[in-house]
Structure 1
Amino acid sequence: MLPYLCIEVLQEIGSQLPNSDQKNLRAVCKELNVAIDPLFYTFFVLRGDRMRGEDGLKIIERLAAGQIGWSHHCKTIHILPGSKAEKGEAIGPKWYPTNAEFPNLLVTAIASMQNTQTVMWNVRARDPQWVREAICDSLSTLSHLTNLRLQIEGGFRLQLAPLPRLTKLRIETMDWQPVHPEEICRLVGRGHNLTCLHLTGHCDWSQVWTMVRTTSLRPSPSTRIRLKDVRTRIVTPDLITYLSSYSGLERLTLEKFEGSQPQIDSYADAFFNDVLPQHSQSLVVLNCPAAYEGRWCFRMEVANSILQLRKLEKLHISVSAVDVIDAEPAVNAVTLLLNTAALLPALRLLHISPASRRRHFDIGLKTGIEDFTSHIESAAVVYTDAHYYGLAPAISDEGDYSTVLVYRILDPESPRIAQVKGLVSQKERDEDEEW
């Protein structure tokens, strides 16, 4: 009966299957092949070392001629360099064919996948320059490309053409080699539809944040780029200035940023006092764990700024050991943070991180959570890198439920935790796993 089901039902069934099962299902009959093809060919992996063999070249040739399913159904392309060259072996022959026709063939093959929406590219300095140039040329031909993710290793000029249809740009640098910021500025400056910008790694992105803040959008010179999703590891005055210049940010992740502690602390007050109030009506996710104990950790002075975030669903913030270990309950940072979280109506996940690994810090954190009592019900789950906690009624000696609520450890496999993990969409998790 399977071939007689409507194509929508067949595709729903096929979407639950791994790629190997989809491949087998396609071979059953023509009807199943037509239904499953768009699923089987939705993801294409281009690996440099596989292009050397005869099979790899045939796939590229068929792609260039539009004779294979990826040309019609591909939504995501992942470009990988492939295996490393052996000692003393030339990179070109090891990774990619070196015949004169292959660069144009590669451009045509990638350009044939016109339905592509996402490109993930692990680009390395040791890649042959003609390969980087061919891939850059092909990206500008993808009319539906909206999501570009670059993982860059080594210092070189990428020379990407502007991609004005991009809505998401994510760039990760893998080492201390400099990335030329003017190239990223050129890419960002023409990103009139850009809503998501992730710049991670050991680079100073100040020039890019200035570009985002000052670039006017055509044809409306008064309109500027207002990002809804920002992620970075290096906090600079230019970033703080940009985030303070507009409203509407929905997701902000400041990874455990690096730099001297006095310098980092100098930005904390501006962040909590100027940045957060600007986005109090829109912010849904806020991740700002601290790399050091200092002013980026939760304290009474920042509680009011956090309480303004009425739409906040996820909060990741750090506490200092001095404010937890042997601290009086009235001023204990964990107690103050839990009381603050209980007043946030939309909060579903509170992630508390220790800002250092001092002795007994984990014990103090665990004790502060388990000794906390409240009369305010909160749906938020608390996470500490070790356990998930949820509020539950306390039990008196007589076994009766009281009105006092306390935190209990939750089963990490429970449906409640699954819902919390759903704060990150399934598509985003799948992309990160592939990445």
Structure 2
Amino acid sequence: MAMAALPYLCLEIIQQIGGELPNCDQMNLRAVCRELGVAIDPLFYTFFTLRGDRMRRDNGLYIMERLAARQIGWSHFAKTVHIMPGSKPETGEATGPKYYPSDPALPNLLVSALASMHNIQTVVWTVHANDPDWVREAICDSLNTLPLLSDLQLKTEGGVHLGLTPVPSLTKLRIESLDWRPVEMVQDICQVVGRSHHLSSLHLSGTSDWSKVWTLLRATLLRPKDSARIHLKELTTSFVTSDLLTYLHSYSGLESISLETSQNHRPKPDPLADRFFGTVLASHALTLVELSCPAGHEGRWSFGPHNVDAILPLRKLEILHLSVNPQDVADVEPPMNAVTLLLSTAQMLPALRLLEISSAARYRGRCEENIKTAIENFTSHLESAAVVCADEDVYELAPVLSDEPGERSTILAYRILDPVPSAVQILRT
């Protein structure tokens, strides 16, 4: 009876129900009747995966031809496309073009198929060095044909070169290296960034030096038209340089910053860390919602008395991830214990919801235990809604048991949350 009544529900309710279903159940629901098919199609066809190995098969080419002719649902409803080489060649097959079929008609077919999906907003492209040139050229040519493309995510492997051209509609750009080799298309990325006037989120990871990108971004702030200036609101990078800090200090309004400082193994003193906490953070104190800069090595990037005054003004901060140096935790009594000092500082941040504490040590086992001990020994009379994460454990502040039955203690301490609420899991991701 419930299934029979489903087609008579309003479109919004059917789509709300369908949105909770996995793709296989959506496919079954579409087959029930025409009315349900019309309602579920925009959900079922939202995500399209293009795998090179599937293009070697007849059904894969058939789908590409139907896409190019706009005779399939993905042409009308797809919002995200994920492009990947797919499975590796079979034993005995040569690498390289064998990931994709070799057919002289395929480059134009691939361009037409991608261009048919007019509603694409996100492109996730995994690029391998063994991909044939025609594949890379066809995909790069297609990007400018997607009028709503706002989020481009490139995952590179093997130091590939891409002939990227500007995509003016971009608001988010993510470049991620999947191996140890530097990304070798910094100049191409500069061209894309420089023409993306609406860019607000930038993620650059890997061992590459991105100084040219930061210099370009700073130069955009000198443009006469405010609409052509690029003020990033979200930034993630794994290589901190002086040019990066110069750009960050040149404007205000950053909302989220993540610095993976493990690439910066520097001896004390560290002028970059001192400059970041001493002057750069102050430029964004009124807007910063998320700050993550855990260090992979002991040094000035870790939390301590030297950067308390940089953290306290961040009144809108909701998520904070910092590291502590092992020698600042082991056998150090409160209040000078770095974990105790960080917990006390976090309580002064009114908007904080998540504090993550990690160890700035190559071998972290002992230090992580010391961090947990310091958290469990912490007591306070100040309430805080923020949860604290250390390794796999999640803590919340709660009253300790009172000596008097039925009385509420005014002393608060951290206790482990088990299970971890889904809201906290979402925050951690």
TM-score, structure 2 length as denominator? 0.95
Mapped partners of 2:76, 2:222: distance in 1: 33
What do the CA deviations read for 1:28-71 (whole angstroms, capped 9, x no partner)? 00000000000000000000000011100000000000000000
1:162 counterpart (163, 166, 175): 166
Tell me the residue number matched to 1:384. 390
Deviation at 1:411, TM superposition (A): 1.5
- Does the alignment pair 1:395 with 2:401? yes
Secondary structure in 1 matching 2:399: strand
Secondary structure in 2 matching 1:38: helix
Mapped partners of 2:165, 2:145: distance in 1: 10
1:131-280 aligned within 5 A: 131-175=135-179, 176-215=181-220, 220=225, 224-262=229-267, 265-280=270-285
- Does the alignment pair 1:94 with 2:98? yes
Contact 1:395 1:402 in 2 (8 A): yes
- Does the alignment pair 1:43 with 2:47? yes
Deviation at 1:349, TM superposition (A): 0.4
Tell me the residue number matched to 1:404. 411
1:80-91 aligned within 5 A: 80-86=84-90, 89-91=93-95
What do the CA deviations read for 1:67-102 (whole angstroms, capped 9, x no partner)? 000000000000011122346533465222222111
- Does the alignment pair 1:368 with 2:374? yes
What amino acid is the match of 1:65?
A
Q: Which moved more, 1:355-364 or 1:216-225?
A: 216-225
What amino acid is the match of 2:76?
H
Mapped partners of 2:415, 2:111: distance in 1: 57
TM-score, structure 1 length as denominator? 0.93
> Structure 1's 86 and 217: CA in aligned 2 closer, same or farther, altered over 3 A?
farther
> Structure 1's 398 and 341: CA in aligned 2 closer, same or farther, altered over 3 A?
same
> Structure 1's 212 and 409: CA in aligned 2 closer, same or farther, altered over 3 A?
same
Deviation at 1:181, TM superposition (A): 1.2
What do the CA deviations read for 1:357-380 (whole angstroms, capped 9, x no partner)? 356322321121111111110000
Tell me the residue number matched to 2:327. 322
- Does the alignment pair 1:334 with 2:335? no
Secondary structure in 1 matching 2:89: coil
Mapped partners of 1:200, 1:126: distance in 2: 21
1:283-322 aligned within 5 A: 283-322=288-327
Mapped partners of 2:373, 2:95: distance in 1: 56
Mapped partners of 2:393, 2:21: distance in 1: 32
Tell me the residue number matched to 2:110. 106
Mapped partners of 1:23, 1:223: distance in 2: 44
What amino acid is the match of 1:352?
I
When the two chains are superposed, the root-mean-square deviation of aligned CA atoms in Å is: 1.8
Secondary structure in 1 matching 2:369: helix
Mapped partners of 1:242, 1:18: distance in 2: 43
Contact 1:91 1:128 in 2 (8 A): no
2:28 counterpart (21, 24, 27): 24
Mapped partners of 2:298, 2:238: distance in 1: 17
Deviation at 1:355, TM superposition (A): 0.9
Contact 2:262 2:297 in 1 (8 A): no
What amino acid is the match of 1:171?
I
1:419-434 aligned within 5 A: 419-423=423-427
Tell me the residue number matched to 1:432. none
What amino acid is the match of 2:418?
D
What do the CA deviations read for 1:165-185 (whole angstroms, capped 9, x no partner)? 100000001231441211110
Deviation at 1:216, TM superposition (A): 5.0
- Does the alignment pair 1:77 with 2:81? yes
Q: Which moved more, 1:90-99 or 1:162-171?
A: 90-99
Mapped partners of 2:153, 2:269: distance in 1: 28
Contact 2:197 2:227 in 1 (8 A): no
What amino acid is the match of 1:46?
L
Contact 2:97 2:130 in 1 (8 A): no
Instruction: List alignment gaps of at least 5 residues for structure 2.
Output: none
Q: Which moved more, 1:297-306 or 1:192-201?
A: 297-306
Deviation at 1:151, TM superposition (A): 0.2
Q: Which moved more, 1:94-103 or 1:71-80?
A: 94-103
Contact 2:183 2:206 in 1 (8 A): no
What amino acid is the match of 1:401?
R
Mapped partners of 1:88, 1:236: distance in 2: 45
Q: Which moved more, 1:360-369 or 1:100-109?
A: 360-369
Deviation at 1:295, TM superposition (A): 0.5
Runs of 4+ in 1 over 6 A off after TM superposition: none
Contact 1:71 1:112 in 2 (8 A): yes
Contact 2:68 2:112 in 1 (8 A): yes
What amino acid is the match of 1:361?
C
Q: Which moved more, 1:250-259 or 1:298-307?
A: 250-259
